[in-house]
Each structure stands twice: as structure tokens, then as C-alpha cells.
Amino acid sequence: VQALAAGMPHNLNKAGEHGFANGVAPRAGATVEPQSRLPAASTLSEENGSEKLGSTAVDGLNATIEPLDRVRVDSTGRFLTTNQGVAVADNQNSLKLGTRGPVLLEDFILREKITHFDHERIPERIVHARGSGAHGFFECYEPCTDITKAAPFQAAGKITPVFVRFSTVQGERGSKDTARDVRGFAVKFYTDEGNWDLVGNNIPVFFIQDAMKFPDLVHAVKPEPHHQMPQAASAHDTFWDFVSLMPESTHMLMWVMSDRAIPRSYATMQGFGVHSFRMVNEAGESVFVKFHWSPVAGTHSLVWDEAVKISGADPDFHRRDLWERIEAGNYPEYELALQVFTEEQADQFSFDILDATKIIPEELVPLRKVGRMVLNRNPDNFFAETEQVAFCAAHVVPGIDFSNDPLLAGRIHSYVDTQISRLGGPNFHEIPINSPVAQVHNNQRDGMHRQAIHRGRVSYEPNSLAGGCPFQAGAAQGFVSVPARLQAQDEQAKVRAKPEKFADHYTQATLFFESQTPVEQDHIANAFRFELSKVTVPAIRERMVASLRNASEALAKKVAMGLGMDPLPAPLPRALPDPAAPEVAKSPALSLLFRPGDGSIKGRKVAILVAPGVEGESIKKAQAALLEQGAVGRLVGPRIGPMPTASGDALDADASLENEPGFLFDALILPDGDEAVAALAQDGHTMEFIKDQFRHCKTILALGASRLLLVKAGLPASMDKSQAQGDTGLLVAEAAGVDEAMSAFIAGMAKHRHFGREMDPPLL
Ligand code: HDD
């Protein structure tokens, strides 16, 4: 009430809507133009000031988005009401004729409540149904006016608010986060010249080259139609049947079988616009661009066994991680970089830049860093924001344009179309999360759920009755499509066909595989082995291995061996027997290890095991050292609650060995204290903790007596030997030396994994 009286936002804990206003400092050394921090003001209807809105619509301010407070509801200190605002006296009982009599039809309060409930669900997205979102901002590093007039890139320090949704593709809305799958990486920029949606993935290529095949791909990968299995998985017959018959998917399969498809966190994966887009400057000159998001925290992934286990213990693993990082102030941050190239350069490449199954190696066209994105605010309401947000590949703004990529063409149609059934009509752009910061003025009218109240009698153009308004912006301010380059005469006939270079299905699959480290190559081979071992039809497995032989003989052999396939099937005939020689044979940038990140352990979770009689001081020190680094050290005991220490005080275990299994944590600390170690040694959960941490190549620190636990769990008996072998992730120290040990532990965690100890099959 005080807040309302003072004219403050309804929801006090969301005071800063966007950008720096919320106390987020610009990056060090940034040149910030203060006037460009916030989006330019705009309005739906400048004349439409109304006390009813809760605040008067200010001239030039779009009341629906800046800020969103008009539509936020905080019921603190309020009566319960009906949807008509009538106060409800009793929310426990329906209206009856006597206490045991029939319920009366006139009970409009009951009927309204039940009716609304009956219609709470909307259809889930046809793909990417499972997702999590966050608000944030994009900050431009330097003006990019040489290549684009797009609003977000016009001034150093310019802030553009964004909403981002990350997703998996195959599973349903309630499916697990850690499935092996592509991740959606969709960014809505609320630019002051309209909404621009960069609807990308965490993988820079795609399965298919033409939108014509998209429904087939999705039908093949989704749960099979007769029994609706499997959920959130591609390891089944129909998917592998389809992709093994579509050699153009081989490059994408390499990525999807790599650890990229099981990211550790949304904060540790890259994002890509996938297609070649165009940028256009004020002079109308255009270049091609590819968009790359790179996480400041580095690219880190799970390992498969871990992903499988996490999906049982915490299906919301990525959603929770994103939420907790933001609540803790460890804001996920990504740098945006462009690969800029001209049409003339593109003509020389060994591949076709209109083919979404091809990358442009960074070694061929370097990345130009243009800005950063920080996700600094969780949504208030999942449905209103994350579920109702509608991304669309067709949403571009002046300065951004499409290429002729035939996959992109289909997307330009599909996204708006799908929202019409998903969000119930053509006015989904008026849902607050979708509504642009820029002004919306046109003659589109009516339809389901119309919010805007258009004044006057004119809804056509040209008109004289409204002074010609709203009027065409003209080429100087309006969106103008880049005139496509004229093609040679013989290419102008209507055809259903592809350019020749599209038929090179294997060169870049080879490039990707050859550019991985040996560990990553092993993981790819193991993923193919796992997925194909779930395929029940031998001919499909054989066809896939036959196709892999064209990409990598070594990989094909390894997969075949894992499937008991001997001899190898003959390689699949190539569509293009003699493809152009690639520009680069190896691209180190394709390895996850190429982007280790800033070396911090911010947002990481560490299990510190405790039990009655634990040596408390070293545990407190360890926990404090982690907190100082922005990581969370959780005390995990045989049960939750106070845990008496050896010195007589108590530590508070907020997780138990049962409710937070070890694989949910990035690292493990085992405590000193004879009594505690004896208790932990009796609990099978402890051994599972240690084995999983070891097997998943994570950092383990055993303090004092707990070294025995490592031995009991079956780890290599001599820790000293293991350390001598260079495993910096397996540490043993006395409790008194915990300070020093924590430095080594934190350094070990910063390495993310210690793959040197990985074995196939696993030792433990
Ligand atoms: Fe798509 C959703 C990304 C090809 C049709 N797509 C969707 C989302 C992402 C992508 C991230 C979820 C957006 C959100 O969070 O709401 N899609 C891609 C990428 C592609 C791609 C990177 C290839 C480069 N998509 C693609 C094609 C078509 C579609 C070829 C159709 C011709 N995609 C859709 C869709 C979805 C969608 C059916 C489902 C829900 C939605 O749009 O809003 O329209």
C-alpha cells in the first residue's frame, strides 16, 4: 500500500525492469552512453491516457511493456475477488440449499472458478515444448554502423531489453531437462525499432536443408505415434530410420551425439543463429552474418551416465540451475559475435552458405565480438511469460534481413502460424511478454482477445479522414528488403531442386569429428553406440554405420564394434562423389575445451558430506571458501537438520544423502572426524556419492580420516599414486590444511572434469 501511494512499482522485488537500472554494472572499461541505456519511450496510443490503467499512459510511453507493472499482480493485503472484482466472502463452500442440500445453479462464484480452471491449459509447442526463460539485457560493445542500422548495434553501451527461452526439442512440456537433445536458444530483443527474435539453437547446424522435410524430421524424432514412446529421447527406431536415410543429417548427428547435447547448464552452452542472415547499413549495403553466442562461464557439459541419473533425481535440473544462478546474482552472461562475410567471399567457399547443415569455420571467417547479454531477472510467472512468449524467425527489424536459405524460408512462415493455434488467435503480439517496446500502429483490427482500443473510424489506408495516419514510413525509416542478387538466366526457372554443393553431406561431419579431442571423440562414439543399440531393426543400424563410414572410418569401426557388427557394411553411396576440398581440415574452435570460460566456479554446487561427530571447523572453512567464489557448498547428511560436530556445536545439514544424490553436484568434499566417517562408511549412499563423483570425473577432496571412504568405495587404493598420475581432481588433505586444500580443490573444479581417469567400461 505504501508502495502504491508512493507511486512505486506494484512488485517491490522487481524494481529494475531492464539493464543497468537494477544495479548491474557495465563491464569493466565499457564506454557507456547514459542516454542509450534504456529503450526509447514509445506508445500504443499517445492520446489514450487513463487513470484506469493504474498509471496514466504517459506521452510516448507504451504502457503495456515499459514497465510491465501495469499487468503484474501482487495480492499482498488484498481481498480475494471474482474475475469481475467482486469480493468473495467464502472460498470454502459452494452455495447449497441447506448444509446437505443440492448446490445451486446460481452459484456464479463456484461456476466462474471451475470454468476458468477447466480452461487453464493451452496446447504445448509442437517442438521445443519444454523450456525455461529469463529476462535480461543486451549491451552493445562498439557501434556496428559499418554493417548494420539495426537498433541494438548503434552505440557503445546501448542497452536493449531481452527475454530468452532455452528449451529441449523432443520431449513434452513436463519432460526432463537433461535429455540428449538440441537446446533451443531463443532471444527476443525488444529494440526501439520493433521486436527482433534470434531463434537459434546451441548447435550451429541443422538436420535438414529444406523446410519441406521439417514435419518428417519431427514426426520421426517425436515419441512414436502408436505407443507414444520414448519420451525426451532420440534413441529409437523411427528417428534413426529417418536420419540414416537422410545423409544430409550426418554433420548434425555428430554434434547431437557429442557432449554439446547434454549441457551442464544453460549458462555454459553456446547459441547460434544457424542460418546465414544479412545485415544492412544506412547506405543500404548488405553483408552476410552468422550469429554466435558464447557463454562467459565457458562451454561445459555433463557426461551421459550423469545426465541419465540426473533426469530421475531432478528432471528440472537446468531450469533450477538457471533460476538459482539468477537469484544468487551469478547472472548467466554470453558474448555475441558475428561472422561477417560478403557475397563474393561466399561464392568462393567450398560449401554453400545457404545450406543450414554447414558451418563456416571460425578459422575461415573470424568472430567479431559485438556485445554481451546478461540474464539478470527471473520471470514473475512461468505461464504468463515463459509459456506465452512467442518467438518467430520472421521477426526482424531494419538492419537485419534474411538469406535465401530454404530452411529459413519455411521458418519465416511457421512460427507466426503456430502461435495462432497455440495462443488462440492472431493477437498474440498483444500479450505483454510479446508486445514490443516500439510503437504499434496499423489497421489490423479485431480478432480473438483484442486488447488495444483503437480510436476513430478509420482502419484503412489510404485515408483522408484521419489525415492519412498511420502513414507509410518510407525507405528511410521503414523496413526495406535487401534486393536479392540476380541469378544467372538458367537459374531463374521454378524448380524443386538443390544447388550442387548441398550434396556434400560428409566433409563437415569429418571436420567436426577430426576437430574433437580424443575424449570427445570417445563420447561421440559411445553416444552412437548407445542410441543405435536401442534401435531394434538391424538394417537401420547397418545403414547408419554405412553412412558414418563416409564421415570417419575410425568412428564407424568403433561404433560397429560396440554393436557387435562385423564385418562393417559397405559405405553408403555418396551423393557427391568428388566434393570440393575444404578450407580447413581441423577447427579447434569446434571442441568444447576451446572455450573453458573465465575459470570461475560461480554457480557450481558442491556436496560437503557431514554426519554426527564431524570435524566442524574445516567444513565451515571449506564452505566459506566456496561461497567466496560464488559457488554453493551444501551440507549433505544422513538426514537433514542439526548435525553435532566433534567439538560440540552443530552444523545444519540442509540436504540428505537420500534427497540430493551425489550426481547432482559438481564436486565432493568428504569430512574429517572418526565418528562421522564411521557413520558415513555404513551408509551405501556415501559409496554411491563417491563412485559417481569419480566416474563422472569430478573433483573430490577427502579430509583427514575420510580417505578411508575412498578406499572403501573402491577408488584406486593409493591416492598418492593417483595424484602422481596427474589427477588434479582427486585430493587428500588433513583437516588442518583445509585452506591450502581448498585452493587446489577450487582449481580442480575450475577444470570442470578430470577426464584422464575416465574408462570405458567404467572402473566403478
Ligand atoms: Fe523451430 C520452435 C529453433 C527449424 C518450426 N524453433 C523453435 C524454438 C526454437 C527453434 C529455439 C523454440 C522457441 C521458443 O522457445 O518458444 N527451429 C529452430 C532452429 C531451426 C529450426 C535453430 C533451424 C535452424 N523450426 C525449424 C523449421 C521449422 C520450425 C525448419 C518449420 C518449418 N520451430 C518451429 C515451430 C515452433 C518452433 C513449429 C514450435 C513452437 C514455436 O515455433 O513457437 O513453429
> Do 515 and 410 share a structural domain?
no
Clarify whether residues 512 and 643 are in a common domain.
no
The strand ranges marked E within 565-717 are 605-609, 632-637, 641-644, 650-653, 655-656, 667-670, 699-703
CATH number at residue 708: 3.40.50.880
pLDDT band at 65 (very low <50, low <70, confident <90, very high): very low
| C-alpha span between 620 and 627 (Å, rounded) | 11
What is the CA(275)–ligand 1 centre distance, in A? 13
What is the arithmetic mean of pLDDT over 120-124? 97
Percent of the chain with pLDDT strictly greater than 90: 82
Cell of 569: 557394411
Same domain, 556 and 669: no
Nearest by Cα to 134 from 267, 8, 257 = 267
Ligand 1 atom closest to 167 (CA) = 15
Q: Does some domain include residue 559?
A: yes
Q: What is the pLDDT of residue 52?
A: 34
Q: Is 595 annotated as a binding residue?
A: no
Residue nearest (by alpha carbon) to ligand 1 atom 23? 206
Q: CATH number for the domain including 175?
A: 2.40.180.10
Give how many domains the chain has, as a whole number: 3
Tell which one of 122, 124, 125, 222 to mutate to probe ligand 1, the residue whose CB is within 8 A of the most ligand atoms: 125
Testing ligand 1's pocket by substitution, the residue of 214, 277, 415, 434 carrying the most ligand atoms inside 8 A of its CB is 415
Say what the pLDDT of residue 594 is.
95
Q: What is the pLDDT of residue 3?
A: 40
CA of 165 to the centre of ligand 1 (A): 12
Q: Give the residue-averaged pLDDT of 413-429.
A: 96
pLDDT in tens, 274-288: 999 999 999 999 999
pLDDT at 6 over 70: no
pLDDT digits (tens, 9 = 90+) for 517-553: 999 999 999 999 999 999 999 999 999 999 999 999 9
Q: Is residue 710 part of a domain?
A: yes
85 burial via Cβ count (<10 Å: 0-12, 13-18, 19+): exposed
- Rounded distance between C-alpha atoms, residue 356 and residue 253, angstroms: 13
- Residue closest by Cα to atom 19 of ligand 1: 200
> In this predicted model, what pLDDT tens digit does every residue of 178-204 receive, in sequence order?
999 999 999 999 998 999 999 999 999
Please provide the DSSP assignment of 519-536 as one string.
Answer: HHHHHHHHHHHHHHHT--
421 and 562 belong to one structural domain: no
Count CB atoms within 10 A of the CB of residue 286. Answer: 20
Mean predicted confidence (pLDDT) in 163-190: 97
Residue 489: pLDDT band (50, 70, 90) is: low
Give the number of the atom of ligand 1 that is nearest the alpha carbon of residue 165.
15
Instruction: List the residue whose alpha carbon is closest to atom 31 of ligand 1.
Output: 411
In a domain, 299, yes or no: yes
pLDDT digits (tens, 9 = 90+) for 544-593: 999 999 999 999 999 999 999 999 999 999 999 999 999 999 999 999 99
Query: Does residue 112 lie in a domain region?
Result: no
The Cβ of residue 538 has, within 10 Å, a number of other Cβ atoms equal to 11
Closest ligand 1 atom to residue 128 Cα is: 12
| 369 and 247 within one domain | yes
Question: In the predicted model, what is the mean pLDDT of the chain?
Answer: 90
Instruction: Band the pLDDT of 22: cuts 50, 70, 90.
Output: very low
Judged by DSSP in three states, 186 sits in: strand
Distances (CA, A) of 190 to 135, 142, 152, 399: 11, 19, 9, 15
Strand order through the sheet with 699-703:
655-656, 632-637, 605-609, 667-670, 699-703, 730-733
Query: Could you read off the pLDDT of 624-649 as tens digits, one per residue?
Result: 999 999 999 999 999 999 999 999 99
Query: 141 among the known binding-site residues?
Result: no
Global confidence as pTM = 0.92
Ligand 1 atom closest to the Cα of residue 186 is: 11
In this structure, are 639 and 575 located in the same domain?
Answer: no
* Mutation pick for ligand 1 pocket among 128, 251, 408, 428 (CB with most ligand atoms within 8 Å): 128
pLDDT of residue 477: 87
Active site residue 443: no
Residue from 122, 124, 126, 127 to probe ligand 1 pocket by mutation (most atoms less than 8 Å from CB):
127
Joined together, the cell numbers standing for residue 183 give 537446446
Which residue among 62, 201, 378, 550 is the active-site one?
201
Active-site residue, from 10, 128, 251, 318: 128
- Annotated ligand binding at 100? The verdict is no
Q: Give the CATH number, domain containing residue 570.
A: 1.20.1370.20
Say what the ipTM of the complex is: 0.99
What is the predicted pLDDT for the residue at 436?
Answer: 87
CA of 306 to the centre of ligand 1 (A): 28
Give me the pLDDT at residue 63, please. 38
> Which domain does 641 fall in, by range?
605-757
| pLDDT tens, residue by residue, 369-401 | 999 999 998 998 999 999 999 999 999 999 999
Atom of ligand 1 nearest to the CA of 133: 15
Average pLDDT over residues 244-271: 98
Last residue of a domain, one of 560, 594, 628: 594
Residue 72 pLDDT grade (very low, low, confident, very high; cuts 50, 70, 90): confident
At residue 48, the pLDDT reads: 35
Q: Does 411 carry a binding-site annotation? A: yes
- Of 357, 356, 364, 391, the C-alpha closest to 125 is 391
What pLDDT digit, counting tens, does each position of 300-336 carry?
999 999 999 999 999 999 999 999 999 998 999 999 9
Tell me the average pLDDT across 686-697: 97
Please list every protein residue whose CB sits less than 6 Å from any atom of ligand 1. 125-128, 131, 165, 167, 184, 186, 199-201, 206, 211, 214, 274, 356, 390-391, 407, 410-411, 414-415, 418
Residue nearest ligand 1's atom 29 by CA? 411
Q: Which of 218-232, 565-579, 713-727 has the lowest mean pLDDT?
A: 713-727
Domain end marker among 594, 617, 637: 594
Distance CA 609, CA 139 (A): 41
Residue 271: which of 296, 253, 235, 251 has the closest Cα? Answer: 296
**307 and 186 together in one domain:** yes
DSSP 522-584: HHHHHHHHHHHHT---HHHHHHHHHHHHHH-HHHHHHHHHHTT--SPPPPPPPSSSSPPPPS-
Rounded distance from Cα 199 to ligand 1 centre (Å): 7
Closest residue by CA, ligand 1 atom 9: 184
The residue assigned the cell 531442386 is 497
* Atom nearest to 125 CA in ligand 1: 40
The answer on pLDDT for 5 being more than 50 is no
Residue 201 Cα to ligand 1 midpoint, Å, equals 9
257 and 383 assigned to the same domain:
yes
Instruction: Give the pLDDT band (50/70/90) at residue 16.
Output: very low
- Closest residue by Cα to atom 7, ligand 1, is 128
Residue 258 sits in the same domain as residue 181: yes
Residue nearest to atom 4 of ligand 1 (CA): 411
pLDDT at 50 over 50: no
pLDDT at 225 over 80: yes
**Which atom of ligand 1 sits closest to the CA of residue 413?**
32
Asked if residue 48 is part of any domain, the answer here is no
350 and 386 belong to one structural domain: yes
Is 402 within the bounds of a domain? yes
First-to-last C-alpha distance (Å) of the chain: 60
Ligand 1 geometric centre to CA of 415 (Å): 7
Tell me, yes or no, whether 303 and 404 share the same domain: yes
Residue 67, domain member (yes or no): no
Residue 201: active-site member: yes
Judge whether 460 is annotated as a binding position.
no
Q: What is the DSSP letter of 192?
A: B
Kindly give the distance from the C-alpha atom of residue 393 to the centroid of ligand 1, in angstroms, as a whole number. Answer: 8
Q: Same domain, yes or no, for 371 and 511?
A: no
Residue 34 within any structural domain of the chain? no
Instruction: Please give the distance, rounded to the nearest whole angstrom, from the Cα atom of residue 408 to the centre of ligand 1.
Output: 10
Q: How far is the CA of 161 from the centre of ligand 1 (A)?
A: 22
Last residue of a domain, one of 434, 454, 487: 434
Query: Measuring from atom 22 of ligand 1, which residue has the nearest CA?
Result: 200
Pairing of strands 699-703, 667-670: parallel
